[in-house]
Homo-oligomer: A and B are copies of this chain.
Amino acid sequence: MTSPERRRPAAPDCHDPHVVQPHKQALLKRLNRIEGQVRGIAQMIQEDRYCVDVLTQVAAIQSALDAVALQLLEDHTRGCVADAVKADRGDQAIAELMTAVKRFAR
């Protein structure tokens, strides 16, 4: 789990308490739906539903999470990374961005 203490000091300008995640409500809505989908899969397994149908639902959640990740990546690039580049501190911000992209690359 990520505790508040782990907030990176390296990009403090991204932690200004007045900066708000730009797509907060849309992301929360998506995550709420994903949570329901995960419960739905547990229910399918509880009922010994056909494996291939369960797999189809797992793939649907993966796609929904991919979309969340891409939205976060884009917001991060438009916000923190662009700000760092403008302030001539782009090197580290881009290195960190690439580490994040790598996690979602195939």
Contacts and interface: CB of A to CB of B under 8 A. Distances in A.
Interface of A: 1-2, 4, 6-8, 11, 14-15, 17, 19-21, 24, 27-28, 31-32, 34-35, 38-42, 44-59, 61-62, 65-66, 68-70, 72-80, 82, 85-86, 90-91, 94, 96-106
Number of copies: 4
A45 B74 contact: no
Nearest to A57: B2
A45 B28 CA distance: 7
A47 B19 CA distance: 10
B39 A35 contact: yes
A84 to B, nearest CB: 9
